[in-house]
Chains A and B, each alone.
Chain A
Amino acid sequence: MPPLLQFVIRRIFYAIVSLIVITMVLYAGVMLTPPEARAQLYIPRGKGGDRASENYMQSLIQDHHLDDPYLVQFGYWAKSLLEGNWGYSPTLREDVLPSLLRRTPITLELALYSLLLLVPIGIASGLMAGWKPRQGFDNTFRSLAFFGTTMPPFIFSFILLSVFYVNLDWFAPGRLTYSVSLEITKDTFHNFTGLVTLDSLMNGRLDVFWDALKHLVMPVLTLSMYHWATLGRITRATILAERGKEHIVAAKARGISERRLMWHYALRSVLTSSLTSVALSAAAIMTGVFVVEVIFNLNGISEVLVASMSAAPDATAALGFSVYSVILVIMLMLILDIAQAIADPRVRDEVLKT
Chain B
Amino acid sequence: MRRWRIFFSHWENWLGLILVLAFLSGAVFAPIISPPDQKNPGPFKQVGRTSDFVPHPPTEKAILGTLPGQYDVFHTLVWGMRDAIQFGLLVAIGSFLVGVFFGSVSGYAGGLLNSLMMRIADAFLTFPPLAGVVFLQQLVGISITALGGIYYFNTQVAGRTISFQNTPPTLVTFVSRIDPLLISLILFSWVPYARLVNSIVLSLKRTDFVQAARALGGNPSWVIRHHLIPNSISPAIVLGARDVGSAVILQATITFIGLGGASPWGALLSMGRNFMIGPGGSLLTHWWVFLPVTLAVVLFGVSWNLIGDGLNDILMPGSQTNVRFRPTSTPLAEPDAQQALA
Contact = CB atoms under 8 A, between A and B. Distances in A.
Bound pair (A, B): yes
Contacts of B257: 154, 291, 294-295
A234 B302 contact: no
Interface size of B as a range: 35 or more
A244 to B, nearest CB: 13
A152 B130 contact: no
Contact of A166 (B126, B254, B282, B294): B282
Chain A interface size band reads 35 or more
Contact of A152 (B137, B147, B283, B301): B301
For the residues of A in contact with B, the DSSP-based class is helix
A162 B142 contact: no
Nearest to B248: A152
A313 B325 contact: no
B130 to A, nearest CB: 4
A158 B277 contact: yes
A149 interface: yes
Interface string B95-139: 000000000000000000000000110111111111110111111
A308 B120 CA distance: 29
B14 interface: no
Contacts of B282: 162, 166-167
B145 interface: yes
A113 interface: no
Interface in A275-309: 276-277, 279-284, 286-287, 290-291, 294-295, 302, 305-306, 308-309
B139 A29 contact: yes
B298 A155 contact: yes
Interface in B245-289: 249-250, 252-254, 256-260, 269, 273, 276-283
Chain A CB count within 10 A is highest, among B127, B147, B256, B269, for: B127
Contacts of A25: 124, 187
A179 interface: no
Contacts of B239: none
B88 to A, nearest CB: 14
B327 interface: yes
Given A306-B259, A326-B127, A238 B341 contact: no
Given A305-B259, A308-B138, A340-B333, A234 B327 contact: yes
B252 A161 contact: no
A34 B256 contact: no
Contact of B141 (A313, A322, A340): A313
Contact of B277 (A6, A40, A161): A161
Nearest to B153: A309
Given A37-B142, A155-B297, A166-B280, 10 more contacts: A149-B305, A152-B253, A152-B297, A152-B301, A153-B253, A237-B320, A276-B331, A291-B254, A294-B257, A309-B153
Interface of B: 119-120, 122-132, 134-139, 141-143, 145-147, 151, 153, 155, 187-188, 249-250, 252-254, 256-260, 269, 273, 276-283, 290, 294, 297-298, 301-302, 305, 320, 322-325, 327-328, 331-334, 336-338, 340-341
14 contacts: A18-B122, A32-B139, A237-B322, A237-B323, A240-B320, A273-B328, A276-B327, A287-B250, A291-B254, A305-B130, A306-B259, A309-B134, A313-B145, A346-B341
